[in-house]
Amino acid sequence: MCKRLRSLLSVPGNYEPGPKNAITDVPNVKVGQFTIHDADIHTGITLIQPHELNAFQNPVPCAVYAGNGFGKLTGGMQVEELGVLESMIGLTNTLSVPMLMQGLIEYYLETCKGLVSINVVVGETNDSFLNDIGALTIRPEHVKEAIKNLSAEVTEGAVGAGAGTCCFGYKGGIGTSSRKINMKFLNGEQAYTIGALVQTNFSGNLNIYGSPVPNGVRQMPQGGSCMIVVATDAPLDARQLKRIAKRGIAGMIQCGSYLANGSGDFCIAFSNYPSNITPRDNQTLKTITVLPDERINPLFEAACETVREAIYNSLTMAHGITGRDGRSVQAISMNR
């Protein structure tokens, strides 16, 4: 039976999770998914909505960090240049990136009057060990289904973009977690939340909080990829979010990844701190609120903690799959 990590052991760390222990503990963040499990097809879509407003009309500060750039992260260059996210973040399999892009573009064309261009952000991992990736199953209409499914409840394991992924030789998938951080300022105390969602499809030498766990059968080539999305409601600018994104990759390494040559490992970090969401049509001088760098260490630590637990949840919540050409990947053993 699939279980979240916290039902199996005591999780170390200095910060407590939010009520759902999910990226959606960050206020107004939602996740929508679409999944296909059918014979040789095991794949899907996972969407992360940064807030309840239209993301194109109300962009948020954002940054991208590549732990290893062997992969496709469309839209990442403009995020790097401008420091903002103007679409939902989409995740899928490698060859379905164009279809997911098209579906998101169609959605924003329908919802944004006069739209002539948009930078949609779509990441991927290669699920071809279990999924017939060349069948090009994902279509733009499936994106609309994922948008309809946007919710504060996040399903983990072999779902959405993680339907056909593998991790440490076991079945990987979608995992999520969150942390609450209380900070004291001269004018009082402020609570912030940081959350992560991961699409795990990578190799390495698995450990659970430092205790080695034998890897599953190494049937698939060493490499794979991991997509990490970190969200927070703390007031951070793009420069600071890039620093947070680096710690997202650090959390992945702590699990046992060595960022293999063929692994595309990216972290996208954004902040939806309300007063920093500036409407696109506001052409006046912009004033944003940022946390002093001297106070950012708790967020760094919490980012590592939440990414690490999200990766473990992607393993413990996944069920085994028999997919393309009869290939099977088992779930990690709960007893182990």
3-state SS track over 175-212: EEEEEEEEEEECCEEEEEEEEEEEEEEECCCCEECCEE
- The candidate with the shortest Cα–Cα distance to 42, out of 263, 308, 311, 318, is 318
Question: Is the model's pLDDT at 219 over the cut of 70?
Answer: no
Structural domain containing residue 51: 13-275+286-319
Within 10 angstroms of residue 176's Cβ, the number of other Cβ atoms is: 28
- pLDDT average, residue stretch 153-179: 97
Does some domain include residue 324? no
Residue 197 token pair? 């969602």
Does some domain include residue 7? no
How high is the mean pLDDT of the chain?
Answer: 95
Does some domain include residue 49? yes
> What separation in angstroms does the CA of 17 have from each of 22, 137, 181, 193?
8, 36, 9, 9
Residue 221: pLDDT band (50, 70, 90) is low
| Per-residue model confidence (pLDDT) at position 284 | 87
Does some domain include residue 329? no
Amino acid at 305: E
Question: Is the model's pLDDT at 217 over the cut of 90?
Answer: no
Does some domain include residue 336? no
Give yes or no for a contact between 126 and 94, defined as CB atoms under 8 angstroms apart.
yes
Owner of token pair 């049509």 = 281
> What separation in angstroms does the CA of 151 have from each of 24, 59, 95?
8, 20, 26
The CATH number that applies at residue 44 is 3.60.70.12
Q: How much is the pTM?
A: 0.97
- The candidate with the shortest Cα–Cα distance to 267, out of 276, 277, 257, is 257
| Per-residue model confidence (pLDDT) at position 281 | 86
* Domains held by the chain: number: 1
The length of the chain in residues reads 336
